[in-house]
Structure 1
Amino acid sequence: MTDNPTMPGTGQLPALPPIFTPMLSGPSESPLDVALATIARGEDATGTVVVADRVDIADAAFILGPDRPLMDALKVVHVMMVAITDALGAIIPPQIAVTFGWPDRIMINGALAGGLRVTLPEGLGPDSAKSDPVPDWMILRVSLDVLGEPTDDIPGKPIERTSLMHEGCVDIAPTLIVESIARHFLNWVSKWEADGFDPIRNAWDGRADGYQEKIAFKLPGGSIKGRLLGLDEQGGLMVSRDGKKRQAPLRWLLHGPSWVAE
């Protein structure tokens, strides 16, 4: 476990597919802050990936240019989740199980190892679902604990944490993880655009933590409990309770990350 927020990295840019432009944030900088500053300069920042130059955590902010309404664009979180599964599957031992906790948590062997966070232009929040605008940009941030529980810039105390090292993955550089995630993310985005959301739903359901079991989630957007059935067509969570299907909408993402306790 490490609680040093300024642990240095290698100073080397990750080798990403040509569609992405890599940038580094310093050990004491937030990739999100650097990404927001890049957007604020008025540049076309779409495709920029800001990567934390740290060895203890794989932390990257992907600046995206959504071409679809907000509620549809939010499904990119699930696209990234299945990409993370493929990416980790290519570089960690096969006996280590990677699963998903809806809507934004990455689990390793049943414990929290990190998650995703969405940042949108000012004024776009949970109520934006009513008008469903097309965002000018979206930042999708991926954080995965490599060496131990990190201190980061999100208020609150992470809960039930593990790390790749604690699960037996040694000598895996965060840069390698980000490189693998970026490649698999690009593949899954292409599949999403070509074949729609169903392939992502099927892949997500197969990795859902507690799939077909009774679950109870209390998240920033609300709470839901029942037998986990998987994703609905909009990327929300479906459960069965008292003989009826109940749903938690994906817009709960906009209330803040579910994997950090206040």
Structure 2
Amino acid sequence: MIQVTLPPLLSGHPVKGQEDPFDTACKKAILGCDSGLMTYNLAADSLAAALVFAPEVPLRQAMAMLPTCGVGFQNALGALAPPEVAVHLEWQGQMRINGARCGALRCAASSTDADTIPDWLVIGLQLPLWPSSQDGGDTPDNTALYGEGCAEVKAPALLESWARHSLHWITRWENGDRQALHAAWRGLAWGTGEDTVQVGLSGTFLGIDEDFGMLLRAGDTTHLIPLTSLLETP
């Protein structure tokens, strides 16, 4: 079995075969596992992982863990990949490497009530390592890690790096340094100032509010789309 060394505050739980670590993390969270559990599946062509949180703040604020883990991923890959490799983050969780979509973050929680402290929150990471097709021209807006000059980045090292960098930003956020997180995320945001469609609304992505909700300008109205709209049903 591939060895993965995680920071002391995290505990690892590898899964095998077709088992989805995100689903596994949600099931274990429902059963009452400890915060800091990281489930992961390191397949030959993909990396998938999920991290369980036990928030102490309402879900509206706790959802900041989604962009936090996104910044952690950019920092992690930036530490391992060649310097010319560019990573950007889409508001809804997708990640872009050198401009093309490459993997995504996802989220689920025990509740969808933004004003209630949830029993648990799970953030998942999915990353393709190898392209699904040898002809990249078939899907020009989608890519895989090893198709973007990152063939030397090993999946276990990337997972370990993601855990460390995400934990760093989580600690800063918990200690009140939220402006730094906002600044880091804005510097990586993809599509700011461009037209988009979210939850059935089309408009211009203006930026984010203090809880990372999307500010969407449609005509004369600016809509606030909360991150809780991205929650999946476990």
**TM, length-normalised to structure 2:** 0.88
Instruction: Provide the residue aligned with 2:136 in structure 1.
Output: none
Residue 131 of structure 2 is aligned with which of 132, 135, 148? 148
Instruction: Provide the residue aligned with 2:202 in structure 1.
Output: 224
RMSD: 2.3
* Contact 2:202 2:218 (C-alpha < 8 Å) held by counterparts: no
* Contact 1:224 1:248 (C-alpha < 8 Å) held by counterparts: no
1:77-156 alignment to 2 at 5 Å?
A: 77-121=66-110, 124-125=111-112, 128-129=113-114, 132-149=115-132
Deviation per residue, 1:174-233 (Å, 9 max, x gap): 21111000000111011112234221111111111133x32213x4x333321x332211
Deviation per residue, 1:95-114 (Å, 9 max, x gap): 11100111211111121101
Q: Does 1:161 align with 2:151?
A: no
Three-state SS of the structure 1 residue aligned to 2:57 is coil
* Contact 1:58 1:177 (C-alpha < 8 Å) held by counterparts: no
Q: What is the distance in 2 between the residues matched to 1:175 and 1:59? A: 11
What is the deviation of 1:255? 5.5
Which is further off, 193-202 or 233-242? 233-242
Q: What is the distance in 2 between the residues matched to 1:39 and 1:224? A: 35
Change (3 A) 1:252 1:87: same
* Contact 1:84 1:185 (C-alpha < 8 Å) held by counterparts: yes
Structure 2 unaligned blocks of 5 or more: 134-138
Q: What is the distance in 2 between the residues matched to 1:224 and 1:15? A: 43
**TM, length-normalised to structure 1:** 0.79
Structure richer in helix, relative to its length: 2
Aligned residues with identical type, % of pairs: 30
* Contact 1:222 1:252 (C-alpha < 8 Å) held by counterparts: no
What is the deviation of 1:54? 1.1
Instruction: Provide the residue aligned with 1:45 in structure 2.
Output: 34
Three-state SS of the structure 2 residue aligned to 1:201 is helix
